[in-house]
């Protein structure tokens, strides 16, 4: 104890008259929620890939892939015929 101020200096154990079990811990700073979610996705984002594939297969979007491939094949034939001169362009 300081005899002049009659107070305990902060560096002494007696300055805080409680043991560690009664002390209140300093609260930890938490980053903002969007930043935590962003870094969570960076750490665990690979978990979304199987989920995305399951949703893609279960929703029937794979059937659309076959239709798109057929349409692309038809367009390829049409462009090939146009380049050969079998079909005149609409220009």
Does a structural domain hold residue 39?
yes
- Residue 48 neighbours by CB under 8 Å, 6+ apart: 41
Distance CA 10, CA 15 (A): 5
Residues 68 and 54 in one domain: no
Please count the structural domains in the chain: 2
Q: Band of the pLDDT at 78, cuts 50, 70, 90?
A: confident
What's the burial of 8, exposed, middle or buried (CB within 10 Å: 0-12/13-18/19+)? middle
- What is the residue range of 73's domain? 60-90
What are the pLDDT digits (tens) for 16-61?
666 666 666 666 788 999 999 899 888 888 778 888 888 877 877 6
Residues 68 and 80 in one domain: yes
């Amino acid at each position: 104890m300081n005899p002049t101020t009659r107070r305990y200096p902060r560096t002494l154990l007696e300055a805080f008259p409680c043991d560690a079990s009664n002390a209140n811990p300093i609260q930890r700073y938490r980053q903002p929620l969007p930043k935590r979610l962003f870094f969570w996705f960076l750490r665990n984002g690979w978990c979304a890939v199987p989920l995305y594939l399951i949703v893609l297969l279960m929703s029937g979007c794979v059937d659309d892939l076959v239709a798109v491939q057929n349409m692309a094949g038809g367009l390829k034939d049409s462009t090939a015929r146009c380049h050969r001169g079998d079909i005149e362009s609409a220009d």
